[in-house]
Amino acid sequence: MSEEFEPNIVAFLCNWCSYAGADLAGTSRMRYLPNVKIIRVMCSGRVNPLFLLNALQQGADGVLISGCHPGDCHYLEGNFYARRRFMLMRKLLEHVGVDPGRVNMSWVSASEGAKFADVVEETVAKAKEAGPMDQFRRRQINW
């Protein structure tokens, strides 16, 4: 292939920890892959698994949900709920035949800029391995 496939990753980052961590990676001039498109949410517990499905429908090849470390959630419990939700959604998508490498989660605190860069790299690598998202992507098939 002349052009290597560059996956589109949508990342939902919690405002207090992960988003701040990503910000730190930026201000520290750390390089990380540009494939990721960040959406800031107040808490990882706010992320509705429908966002994940919708992102995959609209052309994301992988999704990342990142929050505070368990026990450190700014809203105390949000990330615990998120953990349960995405564990199940990942398994469900796997049962449908979707590569589980498309559903990623991480705990990145506000001081872990370097970790964020690593997380992005791993997410992109998994999405590259999974290939372009084609299964239930919205396509103009019946148009």
Partner 1 sequence: MVDEKKLQEKARETLIRDDVRRLIGWKRGTYGFEAAPAVVTDASQAEQLIFDATCVANPASFIAIEEKKPVPRGAEPDTRKVAVMVKGCDSRAVVQQLVEKAYAREDVVVLGIPCLGVVDRRKAEKLFGQTGAQVSAKVDKEKVALDIGGDVKTVDRSNILMDKCLRCRYPNPLVSDFLLGEEVEKWADDDFADVDEFEKMSPEDKWKHWDEQFSKCIRCYSCRNVCPMCYCVECVVSKLRPQWTRRSTDISENTVYHVQRAWHLAGRCIECMECQRVCPVDIPIMTLNRKMTRDVKEMFEYEPGVDVEAEPMLACYNPQDPEEYIM
Partner 2 sequence: MGDYKFARDKLADVLTSLKEYQVFAPAAVGDVLRFKEVTDPANVSLDYDNTTVPPKELMFPQTETLFKYRLGSTEVEPSVPDASKKRMVFGIRPCDAHAYSIVDNLYGWDFADPYYQKRREGTTLVGLACAEPCANCFCPSVGGGPASEKGLDALMFDLGDAYYVNSLTDKGEEFAKAAGLEAAGDADAKAAAKQGEDALKKVARSIDTAGIPEKLPSLYDHPFWEQFSDRCLGCGICTFLCPTCHCFDIQDEAEAFDARRARMWDTCMFSEYSLHTSGHNPRPTRKERTRNRISHKYSYFPEKFDVIACVGCGRCINHCPVNIDILDILDKSKQAEAKEAKTA
Residues making contact with partner 1 (CB under 8 A): 49-50, 53-54, 57, 70-71, 77, 80-81, 83-85, 87-100, 104-107, 118-119, 122, 135-139, 141-142
> What does the chain look like in DSSP terms, one character per residue?
--S-----EEEEEETTTHHHHHHHHHHTT----TTEEEEEES-GGG--HHHHHHHHHHT-SEEEEEEPPTT--TTSSHHHHHHHHHHHHHHHHHHHT--GGGEEEEE--TT-HHHHHHHHHHHHHHHHHH-S--TT----S--
**Among partner 2, partner 1, none, residue 106 binds (CB under 5-8 Å by kind):** partner 1
In the complex, the smallest distance separating the C-beta of residue 99 from partner 1, rounded to whole angstroms, is 6
**Near partner 2 in 82-141, by CB under 8 A:** 138, 140
In the complex, the smallest distance separating the C-beta of residue 110 from partner 1, rounded to whole angstroms, is 16
Kindly tell me which of 69 and 138 has the beta carbon lying closer to partner 2: 138
**Among partner 2, partner 1, none, residue 77 binds (CB under 5-8 Å by kind):** partner 1
Binding site for partner 2 (CB under 8 A): 138, 140, 142-143
